[in-house]
Structure 1
Amino acid sequence: MPSYQTPGVYVEEVPLTPSISGVGTSTGGFVGVSDGAKMPVAPDGTPYPLAAAGEPVQVTSFEQFKRHFGDFDAGNQVLAHSVYGFFNNGGSVCWVARVGDLDDLAQVNGVLTKFAAIDEIAIVAAPGALDDAVQTALIDHCADLNLQDRFAILDGQRVTTVTKAAIMGGLTSTSDYAAIYFPYVKVRDPATGKDILIPPSGLMAGIYARVDTLRGVHKAPANEVVRGALGLAYQTSKAEQGVVNPDGINVIRTLNGAIRVWGARTLGASDNARIRYINVRRLMNFLRESIDEGTQFAVFEPNSDPLWQQITRSVTAFLTRVWRDGALFGTQPEQAFYVKCDASTNPPEIREAGQVIIEIGVAPVTPAEFVVFRIAQFSQIPTN
């Protein structure tokens, strides 16, 4: 402590409790097919080189995508439209890797292995991949115990029969680290001047990013307009959606003159042991990753009460901000979350093992999926 010799006012700087910042939630990771048939021309008059197969490339605009993977073209149709739809619907950054065949599990797994090393990826999609083994690989990638910081968006099968078996095909997963969307979406293809059908996953990744930016990851990415959509491959009725919604199949529908996302469930919606809603799972991913990265200061610190208090203050301050943003339920912070890091969670045997145990509980806000108005008829309006 400083020694003061003369009267006066002294200002001291004290170390602050390390703060936890929220991680990004809207960076996409796309796997798709591109043969580089229509590459734009560089300033020197030669075509830009096609990106190497299996190598992820960071892309921040569709113009940049074209320089690496080519313009709208038959050999690039699905991937180009999906990435364009991502940016058009609100996405800002994504990583793209090309493969020769989306049904080749080895090629897709090779890309996913490289995606695992890119920490900022939070949304993963392989637009047009309908093989159940490939879709399962996307899910397993996101649910991997070494990651659990990303979410898979899958495309439903191209069918006109609205049943779980038809839309899911051979996929049997009930993971809450993925969501599936139906049907395909109609867009205008600049290369041919005609309308074509594309898988919804790329557009949905953009909608996830848009909602994250405007409202937050805790807001369900539903009741949102699909920008660029001119129609749908199939017009699902309310009754038909009622058949598949409980199984976690999210339907895109034409409602009130607009094409809207009309579902917000994970594939685990029918499993009571899983998280039902997309926004709740993605919020939990966000909290886990943010707290993980924000508490790295604790590594190798003396494992005692001062450290436990510092961790508690940091995590509490972070969760209080999350609660104020509307992501947690409760009128007071005490109703929304709790943080416990003390001698009860860190007994001698835990400390001897070099571990610090922090117990955290949160109450996420779930979406108002069913809004019910109860209307009664009175012969006379009550006065009180």
Structure 2
Amino acid sequence: MPTYAAPGVYVEEMPSAQKSLTPAPTAIAAFVGFTERAPNDDPSDPEGTRPRLVTSWTQFEELYGSFTPGAMLPLSVYGFFQNGGTIAYIVRIPNTEPADAPSTASLPAADRALGSPVHVESLEQGAPLQVVVRTVDADADGPAPFDLDIVGPDGTTIESFTNLTLDDSERNVATVVNAASHTVRVRVDLADAVDLSSLLEVMRPGTYPLVAPAPHPVPVSPKRFAGSESARTGINGLTIADDVTMVIVPDLVTAATRPDGTIDLAMWKAVQTALIGHCERQGNRMAILDAPPGMTPQQVREWRSDVAMYDSAFAAMYYPWIRVENPVGTNGQSEVLIPPSGHIAGVWSRTDDTRGVWKAPANDTIRGCLDVERSITKNEQALLNPIGINCIRPFGTRGIRIWGARTLSSDSDWRYINVRRLFNMVETTILDGTQFAVFEPNDVTLWEGITRTLTAFLGGLWQDGALFGASPEEAFYVKCDAETNPPAVIDEGRLVVEVGIAPVKPAEFVVFRISQHKQLAG
């Protein structure tokens, strides 16, 4: 209480006992896998392995490059944004190492008949250098000499050599450069019958980068996928990204494919188990899992039941894989088979935006999907749906749709994806929005303020259709009083609030009971 000593009018600002809660974001994805290159804008993270936020496909390309053979992540991220996603974290896992060979460049002659007679290679393995060729104007008889500069990756000239030639004089480019250069070696290849005396220019001016050899792929173990929370790498590195709600590992197939083309199912299970464990520990996100490719419905059912044996409310699995346009164009193929998880994450985001997180992300089309790996019949889905495998099925003129909305949980309370994600959103919103109560006096005033705050938030969800019930009393309750906070609880410094909500569940089976109505004679 302020102390009033002098007569006058005083104005006091009283803090409101009721706060407003803003729903936590629900459509933020995280992708873990391989990319064309690492971002180069953070010197403290040269390999680009820490989680990085992107908000568009263009921004992804600027940081990580575009589509590239041997990486599913770019295709999945593209499908995510194509289907309505807006925010994603990227966690790059290095899957290549530089080749143990120099960078090279072949410098073209001015006369095309000579081809590229000057060959330059770096002394350092894979050095990112450039060679600049400049023609020197000279009035002397014979071909004009040329200058050659070696330029470093920062654009500065490291070495310069002037008045060079291709003939057998003492200014021959190979003789001069190899005797003095500390960065490159030069070789000249000219046919014995070539007459240079008739040429005015022997080399074509220009800037020519030394091209490093293609990096070698290296095996990526399940431990590399799991990563480290302290090092901010892999799946566990996403611990610092508190707002992530979906996690996808599309390049699991890239790492788990053996040289003979078969899938290492032990590795498949190990990585997906690590992903599920991460999501369960965080408690605010779900794993979107891909079934292994190439399996029939019976095979994927047996794998799910006898090998994988996942049981988690924080994971959902989709089958089969989908076909999309092949942007790389490898082997002349116009389509490529990819895991559906990235596109599914985009549909989840689109559903959250248009309907709300409480709407099951199913019975919706997948943008960019040209076909499925295998068409699933109704009877085949009857084998997969009860064990939590959500099918992707073509429906003719209705398009290719997601035809399932189940988690991998055996607990009927958490059977549906939208129920688990709704609780994730509500729990995160309450956790973040009630921090004001920490260290406040634990009395009736605080209890009533907390009750009003949560009642207003949950009442808004009920009005939006997120909760089941004809009235707010049927949809939810908030209890924070002397019963939940007896003296023993208060003495321990705790404030206990009970919240119960009745989530809406999807109409998974729509049944019409039709009978023949016979009109009785009067």
The two structures have a TM-score, normalised by structure 2, of: 0.66
> Partner residue of 1:22?
23
Alignment counterpart, residue 259 of structure 1, candidates 400, 407, 410:
400
Give the aligned partner of residue 214 of structure 1: 354
Matched, 1:72 2:67: yes
| 2:489 is equivalent to residue 372 of structure 1 | no
Contact 1:142-1:177 within 8 A present in 2 as well? yes
Aligned to 2:270: 133
2:297 is paired with a residue of what secondary structure? coil
Q: Which residue matches 1:47? A: none
Aligned to 1:45: none
Contact 1:54 1:99 in 2 (8 A): yes
Q: Deviations over 1:239-275 (max 9, x none)?
A: 000001000000000013310000000001xx23650
1:104 matched to 2:239? The reply is no
Distance 1:128 1:158 in 2: 12
2:127 aligns with none
Equivalence for 2:288:
153
Question: Match for residue 302 of structure 1?
Answer: 441
Show the counterpart of 1:313: 452
1:143 deviation in Å?
0.7
* Paired residue secondary structure (2:414): coil
Q: Kindly indicate whether the alpha-carbon contact (under 8 Å) linking 1:135 and 1:171 is maintained by their aligned counterparts in 2.
A: no
TM-score by length of 1: 0.89
Secondary structure in 2 matching 1:58: strand
**SS, match of residue 297 in structure 1:** helix
More deviation in 364-373 or 125-134? 125-134
Aligned-pair CA distance for 1:52: 2.5
Task: Report if the CA contact (8 A) 2:285-2:314 is conserved.
Answer: yes
TM-aligned CA deviation for residue 378 of structure 1: 2.0
Structure-1 separation of matches of 2:392 and 2:27 = 21
Q: What is the distance in 1 between the residues matched to 2:11 and 2:363?
A: 53
* Deviations, residues 165-203 of structure 1 (Å, cap 9, x unaligned): 235783211101000000110001122061000000000
**Is residue 31–residue 126 contact of structure 1 (8 Å, CA) maintained in 2?**
yes
Is residue 85 from structure 1 mapped to residue 79 from structure 2 by the alignment?
yes
Structure exhibiting the larger radius of gyration computed from Cα positions: 2
CA distance in 2, matches of 1:382, 1:184: 59
Pair 1:114 & 2:108 matched: no
Structure 1 CA distance, aligned partners of 2:239 and 2:458?
A: 27
CA gap of 1:380–1:51, structure 2 versus 1, over 3 A, is farther
Query: Gaps spanning 5+ residues in structure 1: where?
Result: 43-49
Secondary structure of 1:170 counterpart: helix
Q: SS where residue 513 of structure 2 aligns?
A: coil
Residue identity in the other structure for 1:352: D
Cα deviation code 1:286-320 (max 9, x no counterpart): 00000000100000001111111111111111100
Q: Which residue of 1 aligns with 2:307?
A: 170
C-alpha contact 2:32 2:250 (8 A) present in aligned 1: yes
My pick for the range that moved more, 56-65 or 216-225, is: 56-65
Q: Which has the higher strand share?
A: 2
- 2-structure distance, mates of 1:167, 1:203: 22
Q: Secondary structure at 1:154's aligned position in 2?
A: strand
In structure 2, list runs of 5 or more residues that go unmatched: 96-218, 228-233, 254-267
Quote how far apart the aligned CAs of 1:379 are: 3.4
Deviation at 1:70, TM superposition (A): 1.4
Once the two structures are TM-superposed, the CA of residue 109 in structure 1 deviates from its matched residue by 1.9
- Quote the residue 2:110 is aligned against: none
The code of the aligned residue for 1:238 comes to K
> In structure 2, what residue type is equivalent to 1:371?
V
CA distance in 2, matches of 1:51, 1:253: 42
Task: Verify: 1:180 aligned to 2:317, yes or no.
Answer: yes
For residues 18-55 of structure 1, what are the alpha-carbon distances to aligned partners after superposition, in whole Å with 9 as ceiling and x for unaligned?
11110000000110112439x99x9xxxxxxx973421
In 2, the alpha carbon distance for the partners of 1:277 and 1:219 equals 10
Q: Is the 8 A contact 1:158 1:167 kept in 2?
A: no
- What residue identity is the alignment partner of 1:123? M
